[in-house]
Structure 1
Amino acid sequence: MLRGLSIKNFALIEQLQVSFDSGLITITGETGAGKSLLLGALGLLLGKRADLSSVKDNSQKCVIEGSFAINQYNLSSFFEDEELDYEEETIIRREILPSGKSRAFINDTPVTLQSLAALGEKLIDIHSQHQTLEVTTNDFQFEVLDALASADREIKSYKRGLRLLKEKEKEVDILIANQESFTKEYEYNSFLLKELEEAKLQPGELTELEERYEQLNNIEEIQERLSGSISVVSTEEIGVSDQLNTIKINLSKIESYSSGLKELSERIQSIYIELDDIQVSLVNELESLEADPHQLEQTSQRLQILHNLQVKHKAANIDELIVLKNELNEKVSRTESLSEDIEKLKVEITTIHSQLDELAIKIHEKRKKALPQLVEELENILKALGMPNASFKASLDLQEKYLSNGKETLEFLFSANKGGAYGALKKVASGGELSRIMIAIKAILSRYAQLPTIIFDEIDTGVSGEIAQKMADLMMTMSKNLQVFSITHLPQIAANGQSHYKVYKEDIDHTTVTQLKLLSEEERVKEIAEMIGGKDISDSALTHARSLLKSK
């Protein structure tokens, strides 16, 4: 519900601030007084694009702000999805800067126009005579029918199922395409994988093999040099070991004479022990060596296999070959399991089909039951609105294919005259007839669904007398369940407003500005009398105006 509206520096509006109550709110004023400016400002507030031409003073920014009570609209999930602070009293603000750029805010958080428009359509529904073509669309007709059919739960389940069906069908298409692609490469990939698996690759193996090969290939030189080294260390009297032992004995005899000599003695002792350990290791290394031509051949062959694989796959090392082997294994496994995955998905799709068919039948039965009720209510309301011969023919036909909200098509035909031919609304209904049909539909919807604030912009054009009163009564009935604005030229409707505002122009400091004023009872009498009889208000017009106000 729109609680308040503030407009600054917009077109002919210099500064305007107004509050609104619930119920039926009527807005009147002479042609050209600026009623369209209010709708223009609201349009900007609800996400329409702006330009600098709508700004009154280009040196100042234009600001339009609206306060909305939203506690009845179940919008908390919308605010959560948009990452906005939810407030039961939500403030929407739109600014147009002197540069021409515009900004939008919801509860002081900057938002895009897309987000603003998404929220706006949930808060205000604006209808003018040229916008009534919405009633001729199949989507809108289903929306009305579904409100009466109470099939909301089934329709939501159906839409979820349809989304899931499309996702699964897309998955199948992708898998089938992959299967065709992978199958072409399957034999080649299998061959490459088998070759790598037979190589029994081990991380770090190449370094070990190269070391073993070098050792086996140079064993005679290694043996010769190890033997020579052992001889240098261990030959009696002239060997390094004996020479060091002599130094060690000499220093041990004199180490007590100074700390320096003691340190040298200890260092020689350490060297002697280390040399003795080296000698043992040299002997062990020499004893472990044995020429093995067969092992050398095997090592050489293994190295050649690994080298060939590296060259073939342009791999820098064994680890890269292992990564390639794992990738090939995944491709081959995926190809082998694709048929199984495809069949599994097809079973899931068949199950979804069955569930959707079941839901579609339930939706169809509820709609079929509600359709005669919708037609009857529409015809009854239209009779009261001066269309006594208005008649509808509506039919629901189940289809094979899945549609966006069920498996059926709705044909909604209309005839305004007795014995007249039935045809599609957009082809056979006049603008005035569409206006009344729209009001009738909104009146029905207001009893079955929580609608946003509705603004009727001169939708009553071409209506007068008793029909105007019936239209006013209808709007009053609607306003018991929602906030209704009616911008009108009809005194009967103006008089029925629980609040009555007047749009007018006045000159202030040589500048024409548009104003909006809440009328008092006496001001309403005068305004309605003027609507009845013109500027020269007669006593009879005043009397008529008072009677209209008393009868509301």
Structure 2
Amino acid sequence: MLTSLSIKNYALIEKLSIDFSDGFSIITGETGAGKSILLGALGLVLGKRADLTSLKNKDEKCVIEGHFSISTYNIRDFFEENDLDYEDQTIIRREILPSGKSRAFINDSPVNLNELVELGEFLLDIHSQHQTRELTEELYQFQIIDAISSNQLLLDDYSEKLKQYKKLKIQLDEKKQLYASALKEQDYNTFLYNELAEAKLVDDEQAELEAQLEQLSNVELIKEQLEKSISLADSEQFGLLVNIKEFKNAIQRISSYSKEYAQLFERVESLLIELKDIVNELNSFSESVVNDPEQLILVNQKLQTIYNLQKKHQVNSVEELLQIQNDLEGKVISVTSLENEIAEIQIRLEKYEVDLNELAILIHSNRAKSIPKLSDMLQGILSQLGMPNVQFKIKVELSETFFTNGKDTIQFLISTNKGSDFGLLKKVASGGEMSRIMLAVKAILANYSNLPTLIFDEIDTGVSGEIANKMGDIMKEMSGKMQVFAITHLPQIAAKGKTHYKVFKTVNGNQTISEITLLNKEDRVVEIAQMLSGSNISDSALNHAKALLN
């Protein structure tokens, strides 16, 4: 419940702070005194957007702070989900700075307006004539019937499953689009992949193949030069080996005469050993070099294949071709993978559809059973409010579509007079009748839902006398289960309140200021007498006011 409200620098309000009680509270005041300003301030607390026109003094910030007792509201989950400190006495503060920026706080933690709006729905319901239009909206009509049908747990389960179902539908559409796109390229990608796979490419093989090609293409030259080198090195008369042996022997004869000669001998001996090794290798190479036209053709073909593939894919290396091959393999495989994923999602969707249909049928059944009860209760209350011949015909029918709250469509039909045809609520009921129907709905919901604080803003417009008295009784009865405020011009309703607040304007110099005060017993008598007879209060008006209060 709303326990207190403080407002600073807002519209015609300079500064005020007021405490509220539980039960049924009345707010009265002359037209233009500032009752709408109070509602506007509360609207900001609930997350409505603000602008600089809200500031009384444009050079100072506006601060509106509402204190709420929320221990019975079961909304700890909201605080946990939004990482906010929970307090049984929760404080919501809204600030509008001279720069035009707005800030919001819940228990001193900064929040955005969406979070404020979400919390506000648990705390306050300001009902104005404008909001009576909610009655004609299907979603609100379902909320009424579902509260009486005790459908909330089923609806929560349905809502969660529908959320998952819709996510899967989106996934399925995305996978199908990918599959269609992949399928169009499947044949071409498969051809490209097979072409690369058949080439049996190996990392670093291009350089090796090019070296082989060079050798195989120059076999005769290589053979000729190898044999020439062997002949120069190993000729019996003039070969390098014979001459170096003679050279070694010459150095050996003087090697004992100095350390330097000995070192030269060792070097020549090493040179001879190295040359023998080279000659041996030359002989080995010469024996292995053979003319192999077939191998030359194979190497040439493999290289040509590599060059063609590089040109086709516009790359310069085998490594890049292998990367393209891997990518193509992934695309080729992904088509099959997508087929499997699509099939799996479809199976899951079918399971959700079964569950959703079962829940929707249960929800529909509960709604259908509660319709006669709702109609009887509405007609019973409205007969007290001057609509004795009103009748309701509420139709709830199953459709093939999954809506946010089941598969039902709803028609809220009404007949307000005997013998009148039934018609849609929004077409048949007048503004005054709609206000009374809304009051009846709220009164019924008070018995079935944990409603927040309810503020009726002149719901009594267009009624008077005994009907006004009955409206006051209904609101007073509702206040036994919740905190109820009524902004009213009718004394019959004003007298029903547990507490009574008056909004008034004062003039201070050249400024007009709105204020609110809690009326004591004597002040209430005067205020209600004024409501009965105007500013010139008669004795009969005072007596009538006392009678109403008693």
TM-score range, shorter chain: 0.7 to 0.9
Query: 1:98–1:199: structure 2 CA closer, same or farther, 3 Å change rule?
Result: same
Match of 1:69 in 2: 69
Aligned to 1:395: 395
Instruction: Note if contact 1:230-1:283 (Cα within 8 Å) is conserved in structure 2.
Output: no
Give 1:149's aligned amino acid: S
Contact 2:9 2:61 in 1 (8 A): yes
Match of 1:456 in 2: 456
Q: Which amino acid aligns with 1:287?
A: S
Q: Does 1:495 align with 2:492?
A: no
CA distance in 2, matches of 1:19, 1:252: 124
Counterpart CA distance in 2 for 1:90 and 1:274 is: 99
Evaluate the alpha carbon distance shift between residue 473 and residue 285 of structure 1 in structure 2; reply closer, same or farther with a 3 A threshold.
farther
1:139-150 aligned within 5 A = 139-150=139-150
How far apart, in 1, do the equivalents of 2:454 and 2:478 lie?
10
- Calculate the aligned-residue CA RMSD, in Å: 3.6
Equivalent residue number for residue 442 of structure 2 = 442
- Matched to 1:387, the amino acid is M
> Could you report, residue by residue, the CA deviation over 1:474-493 in whole angstroms, capped at 9, with x for unpaired residues?
21222222222111122233
Structure 2 equivalent of residue 106 of structure 1: 106
Residue deviations 1:106-127 (CA, integer Å, cap 9, x gap): 3444443333333333322111
Q: Is 2:304 aligned against 1:307?
A: no
Matched-pair contact (CA < 8 Å) for 2:233–2:241: no
Q: Superposition pairs for residues 8-27 of structure 1, below 5 Å?
A: 8-27=8-27
Q: CA deviation at 1:533?
A: 3.0
Q: Please state if 1:287 is matched with 2:281.
A: no
1:157 aligns with 2:157: yes
Whichever residue aligns with residue 284 of structure 2, its letter is E
Moved more, 209-218 or 423-432: 209-218
Q: Is the 8 A contact 2:379 2:391 kept in 1?
A: yes
Q: 1:100 to 1:214 in 2, by over 3 A?
A: same
- 1:185 matched to which residue of 2? 185
- Structure 1 residue aligned with 2:35: 35
* 1:54-97 deviation line (CA, Å, top 9, x unaligned): 22111222222222333443434444444544444333332222
Q: Tell me the percent identity.
A: 49
Q: Distance in 2 between matches of 1:390 and 1:275?
A: 128
Question: Contact 2:529 / 2:537 at 8 angstroms: preserved in 1?
Answer: yes
8 Å CA contact retained: 1:129, 1:457? yes
Q: Is the 8 A contact 2:488 2:494 kept in 1?
A: yes
Structure 2 match to 1:525:
525
Superposition deviation, residue 14 in structure 1: 0.6
Supply the distance in 1 between the matched residues of 2:177 and 2:128 (Cα, whole angstroms).
Answer: 51
Which residue identity does 2:8 align to in structure 1? K
In the TM superposition, residue 229 of structure 1 has moved relative to its aligned partner by 10
AA matched with 1:196: L
Match of 2:446, SS state, is helix
Moved more, 32-41 or 73-82: 73-82
TM-score normalised by L of structure 2:
0.87
Question: In structure 2, what is the Cα distance between the partners aligned to 1:424 and 1:95?
Answer: 43
CA displacement at 1:388 relative to structure 2? 1.7
Worse-superposed segment, 153-162 or 287-296: 287-296
- State which drifts further: 128-137 or 346-355: 346-355
In 1, Cα distance between the equivalents of 2:22 and 2:452?
12
* Cα pair distance change 1:135/1:303, threshold 3 Å: same
Q: Secondary structure at the match of 2:60?
A: coil
1:427 maps to 427
In structure 2, C-alpha distance between the alignment counterparts of 1:435 and 1:271, rounded to whole Å: 123
Q: What is the alpha-carbon distance in structure 2 between the residues aligned to residue 496 and residue 242 of structure 1?
A: 137
Q: Does 1:133 align with 2:130?
A: no
Q: Measured at CA, do residues 292 and 29 of structure 1 come closer, stay the same or move farther in structure 2, by a change above 3 Å?
A: farther
Could you report, residue by residue, the CA deviation over 1:15-67 in whole angstroms, capped at 9, with x for unpaired residues?
A: 11222232222211111111011111122222222222222111222222222
How many Å separate the matches in 2 of 1:181 and 1:377? Answer: 59
Deviations 1:212-258 (A, max 9, x none): 444555566667479859988995586499779969x9699649xxx
Residues 240-279 of structure 1 correspond to what in structure 2 (within 5 A)?
254=259
Report which stretch shifted further, 237-246 or 27-36.
Answer: 237-246
Three-state SS of the structure 2 residue aligned to 1:468 is: helix
The answer to whether the Cα contact below 8 Å between 1:237 and 1:243 also exists between their aligned partners in 2 is no
Number of paired residues? Answer: 541
Q: Distance in 2 between matches of 1:400 and 1:251?
A: 115
Cα drift, residue 147 of structure 1: 0.6
- Report the more deviating stretch, 128-137 or 156-165: 156-165
What does 1:374-385 correspond to in 2, within 5 Å? Answer: 374-385=374-385
Match of 2:465 in 1: 465
Q: How does 1:512-551 map to 2 (within 5 A)?
A: 512-550=512-550
- How far did 1:145 drift? 0.3
Which sections of structure 2, spanning at least 5 residues, go unmatched? Answer: none
Stretch deviating more after TM superposition (216-225 or 347-356): 216-225
Alignment-mate amino acid for residue 308 of structure 1: N
**Per-residue Cα deviation, 1:172-226 (whole angstroms, up to 9, x for no partner):** 4444444443333222222111111111222333333334444555566667479
Residue in structure 2 matched with residue 258 of structure 1 by the alignment: none
Shift of 1:279: 7.1
**Which SS does the other structure have where 2:495 is aligned?**
helix
Q: Tell me what 2:115 maps to.
A: 115
Q: Contact between 1:227 and 1:286, CA under 8 Å: does it hold in 2?
A: no
In 2, distance between residues paired with 1:430 and 1:480? 30
* 1:353-393 residue CA offsets vs partner (Å, 9 max, x unmatched): 32222222111111111111111111111122222222111
Distance 1:252 1:201, change over 3 A: farther
Classify 1:77/1:308 alpha carbon distance in 2 versus 1 (closer, same or farther; 3 Å): farther
8 A contact 2:59–2:98 mirrored in 1: yes
> Is the 8 Å Cα contact of residues 245 and 272 (structure 1) preserved in structure 2?
no
From the superposition, tell whether residues 200 and 510 of structure 1 become closer, same or farther in structure 2 (CA, over 3 Å).
Answer: same
Amino acid corresponding to residue 531 of structure 1 in structure 2: M
The alpha carbon displacement at 1:458 in A equals 0.8
Name whichever of 270-279 and 415-424 sits farther off.
270-279
Name whichever of 4-13 and 468-477 sits farther off: 468-477
TM-score by length of 1: 0.86
CA contact (8 A) 2:501 2:519 kept: yes
Whole-Å separation in 1 of the counterparts to 2:161 and 2:476:
40
Q: CA shift at 1:134, angstroms? A: 0.7
C-alpha separation in 1, matches of 2:451 and 2:107: 22
Using the alignment, how far apart are the partners of 2:21 and 2:513 within structure 1? 25
* Alpha-carbon distance change, 188 to 544 in structure 1, aligned in 2, over 3 angstroms: same
Counterpart in the other structure of 1:366? 366
Query: What is the alpha-carbon distance in structure 2 between the residues aligned to residue 153 and residue 507 of structure 1?
Result: 54
Q: 1:236 to 1:182 in 2, by over 3 A?
A: closer
CA distance in 2, matches of 1:153, 1:73: 17
Extract unaligned runs of 5+ from structure 1: 256-260
Letter of the 1:57 partner, please give it.
Answer: N
Paired AA for residue 153 in structure 2: R
Distance in 2 (alpha carbons) for counterparts of 1:271 and 1:146:
110
- The code of the aligned residue for 1:435 comes to S
Residues 481 and 317 of structure 1: is their aligned pair in 2 closer, same or farther, counting only changes over 3 Å? farther
More off after superposition, 125-134 vs 286-295: 286-295
Q: Is the 8 A contact 1:232 1:240 kept in 2?
A: no
